[in-house]
Amino acid sequence: MADVRPESLKRITTRAQADDFIADQIAAIKEQVGDKKVLLALSGGVDSSVVAALLIKAIGENLVCVHVNHGLLRKGEPEMVCKVFRDELGANLIYIDAVDRFLDLLAGVTDPEQKRHIIGEEFIKVFAEEAAKLDGISFLAQGTIYPDILESEQGIKAHHNVGGLPPELDFELVEPVKYLYKDEVRVVGSALGLPDNMVYRQPFPGPGLGVRCPGAITRDRLEAVRESDAILREEFEKAGLAGKVWQYFTVVPDFKSTGIKDEKRAFEWLCIVRAINTTDVVKCTVEPIDYDLMCRITDRITHEVPGINRVLYDYTPKPTATVEYE
């Protein structure tokens, strides 16, 4: 039977509506879970973060959050997850440093689909191993939102949260935001006290920076993607574009060109800046970036990021291009 948003659930646009929703969900979670333990894969994305904050309010220590660092996260993200959830919200958080494990597996892999597959499979393995170490877990919380349900029912995409969990993870699901749209999840996240940079975070693909490092991922080029992405985010923030442009990021392909650094020939990578706007992600337009801003970003990336001697801006809409490069 189709899983349909209840008619009684009105659109959540205000703080008062969010507070009511939070109170209702806390009661519902308490009733569903009782004094049992719940496990949650906390990526730092909006949806899983809001679910974590809700469950912490409802059941406190009985929520066990697992944050897997696969080495493909943006600069400062694992630290932010630990700071917000462990230090500020007092979450029972297990941090797994799986960076070497993922990067070793990905070494030399050039095919985009194979890269995605390895990242997805390994994530599930790491998570399942961690779950097996824990005693008395009966529930699995997920940041499923309403578009996930609609899209999986229409066959547009596999339900990204349910998709690949192995059968031995035989948990009952807790999905407190499954009838909400993204903008409603954000209102609830703010009402729960989560920081703006978490709540209004731009979309970030599951395979992370892995798809922005086209070709075989190497640690040095991955670092160049991470550092250039951090500079771009900083400059967009300063220019007041952070909440306005839908998605923006850098890509460092496995390609070098000749340049000059410190008056010497420098054969280094190029960095592509992409900034797009969209309402449905099916079609995207390119942000008409200000010339001076682009010069500043270029200057910073070529001088601050080791291995980059050239910056390009991608003017291609979707279609013909996709948003990501892989």
Binding site for ligand XMP (CB under 6 A): 116, 203, 205-207, 247, 281, 318, 322-324
Nearer to ligand XMP, 49 or 247 (CB): 247
Query: From the CB of 318, what's the least distance to ligand XMP, in Å?
Result: 5
Closer Cβ to ligand XMP, 149 or 191, answer by number: 149
Residue whose CB is less far from ligand XMP, 18 or 273: 273
Tokens of residue 20, six digits: 């009511």
Angstrom distances, CA of residue 102 to CA of 218, 219, 227: 11, 11, 19
Q: How far is the CB of 323 from ligand XMP (least distance, A)?
A: 3
Closer to ligand XMP by Cβ: residue 44 or 302: 44
Q: Is 252 helix (H, G, I), strand (E, B) or coil?
A: coil
Report the nearest approach of ligand XMP to the CB of residue 239 (Å).
21
CB 133 within 8 A of CB 103: no
Question: Least Å distance between CB 247 and ligand XMP?
Answer: 5
Shortest Å distance, C-beta 135 to ligand XMP:
31
Distance, CA of 3 to CA of 178 (rounded, Å) = 9
Name the minimum Å distance from CB 281 to ligand XMP: 5
Question: Least separation, in Å, of the C-beta of 276 and ligand XMP?
Answer: 8
CA distance 103 to 18: 40
Cα–Cα distance for residue pair 90/92, rounded to 1 Å: 7
Q: Three-state DSSP class for 228? A: helix
Smallest distance, ligand XMP to C-beta of residue 115, A = 10
Q: What is the 8-class DSSP label of residue 209? A: G
Look at phi and psi of residue 116 and say left if phi exceeds 0, alpha if psi is from -120 to 50, else beta: alpha
Cβ closest to ligand XMP, residue 202 vs residue 218: 202
115 vs 178, beta carbon nearer ligand XMP: 115
End-to-end CA distance of the chain: 35
Q: In what order do the strands lie in the sheet with 92-97?
A: 92-97, 63-69, 37-41, 137-141, 172-174
Short-list 128, 111, 203, 202, CA closest to 165 = 128
Question: Which C-beta is closer to ligand XMP: that of 25 or that of 144?
Answer: 144
Nearer to ligand XMP, 258 or 322 (CB): 322
The torsion angle over the Cα atoms of residues 124, 211, 249 and 220, rounded to 10 degrees, is 100
